[in-house]
């Protein structure tokens, strides 16, 4: 498989266009040595707040990708675009329905060479994304592994995202999902509050995403970069 814009990502910071970040904090994040900034959120993302955040990140050399979760937010100028689908949603619109409508209407505008689909497994029932998409987050570990295998082995998705947004996940499950995958890049995100948890997740995930702690404890967030880069993958 040809390498893509996300293939080398070990550590990623996720910035939400719907949240405030001052210039000093943004500089610390962009100059931290992270592999990329991923712009995205599950609610309150608009064309305007996305353009605003992208243009501020563009002052720095760091790669910058956008997670497109609303068809009205097709902002050009990112290095790459991730398009999420939720595997364990009860509503097919979040798996495929909205995507079909968006591609029908706007697909001709997409820079396809810089686009990748992402299969999300949403596992924190209290997260915004779980509520929004009515995800069946309380599934057993065997079911979570089966979902992952459907995405990876049957559908050959490029990226599987194990999403615990807002809480730290089950690392034994992450290990077992890792072991069950054939080719998908494994992204982990959720509840990483500093270097220890970041290093643990990096043992099993190809890519570790750090989000909310940027806004809650910037120093702890910055420390996750080194922790992930130095972690030994199992």
Ligand X SMILES: O=P(O)(O)OC[C@@H](O)CO
Ligand Y SMILES: CC(C)=CCC/C(C)=C/CC/C(C)=C/CC/C(C)=C/CC/C(C)=C/CC/C(C)=C/CC/C(C)=C/COP(=O)(O)OP(=O)(O)O
Structure tokens at 65: 């990708």
Q: In this chain, which of 212, 223, 227, 231 binds ligand X, going by CB under 6 A?
A: 212
Structure tokens at 229: 């880069």
Cα–Cα distance, 141 to 138 (Å, whole number):
9
Segment lying near ligand X (by CB under 6 A), choices 29-37, 74-82, 145-153, 205-213: 205-213
Residue 14 known to bind ligand: yes
Per CB under 6 A, does 166 bind ligand Y?
yes
Find the binding residues for Mg ion in span 152-211 (CB under 5 A): 211
Residue nearest to ligand X (CB): 189
Place of tokens 């999300």: 120
Residue 152 known to bind ligand: no
Per CB under 5 A, does 17 bind Mg ion?
no
Residue 3: burial class (beta carbons within 10 Å; 0-12, 13-18, 19+): exposed
Cα–Cα distance, 142 to 212 (Å, whole number):
29
Per CB under 6 A, does 192 bind ligand X?
yes
Per CB under 6 A, does 63 bind ligand X?
no
Residue 44 known to bind ligand: no
118 pairs with which residues across the strands? 84, 159
Instruction: Specify the 3-state DSSP secondary structure of 65.
Output: strand
Find the binding residues for ligand Y in span 173-202 (CB under 6 A): none
Beta carbon nearer to ligand Y, 126 or 232: 126
Find the binding residues for ligand Y in span 111-150 (CB under 6 A): 120, 127-129, 132-133
- Report the partner that residue 83 touches, choosing among ligand X, Mg ion, ligand Y, none (CB closer than 5 to 8 A by kind): ligand Y
Rounded to the nearest 10°, the torsion over CA 201, 206, 212, 215 is 110
Instruction: Specify the 3-state DSSP secondary structure of 207.
Output: strand
Per CB under 6 A, does 109 bind ligand Y?
yes
Find the binding residues for ligand Y in span 11-50 (CB under 6 A): 16, 40-43
Backbone angles phi, psi at 57, to 5 degrees: -65, -30
Residue 40 known to bind ligand: no
Contact residues: ligand X, CB under 6 A: 14, 163, 165-166, 189-192, 209-213
């Amino acid at each position: 498989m040809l390498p893509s814009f996300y293939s080398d990502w070990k550590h990623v910071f996720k910035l939400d266009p719907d949240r405030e970040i001052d210039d000093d904090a943004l500089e610390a994040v962009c100059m931290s040595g992270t592999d990329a900034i991923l712009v995205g959120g599950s609610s309150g993302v608009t064309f305007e707040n996305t353009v605003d955040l992208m243009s501020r990140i563009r002052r720095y050399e760091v790669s910058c990708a956008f997670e497109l979760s609303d068809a009205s937010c097709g902002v050009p100028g990112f290095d790459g675009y991730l398009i999420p689908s939720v595997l364990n949603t009860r509503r097919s619109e979040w798996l495929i329905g909205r995507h079909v409508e968006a591609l029908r209407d706007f697909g001709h505008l997409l820079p396809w060479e810089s686009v990748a689909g992402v299969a999300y497994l949403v596992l924190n029932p209290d997260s915004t994304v779980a509520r929004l998409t009515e995800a069946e987050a309380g599934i057993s570990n065997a079911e979570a592994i089966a979902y992952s295998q459907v995405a990876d082995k049957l559908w050959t998705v490029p990226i599987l995202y194990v999403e615990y947004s807002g809480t730290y996940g089950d690392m034994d499950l992450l290990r077992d999902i890792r072991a069950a995958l054939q080719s998908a890049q494994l992204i982990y995100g959720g509840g990483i509050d500093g270097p220890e948890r970041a290093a643990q997740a990096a043992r099993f995930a190809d890519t570790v995403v750090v989000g909310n702690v940027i806004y809650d404890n910037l120093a702890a967030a910055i420390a996750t970069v080194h922790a992930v880069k130095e972690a030994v993958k199992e």
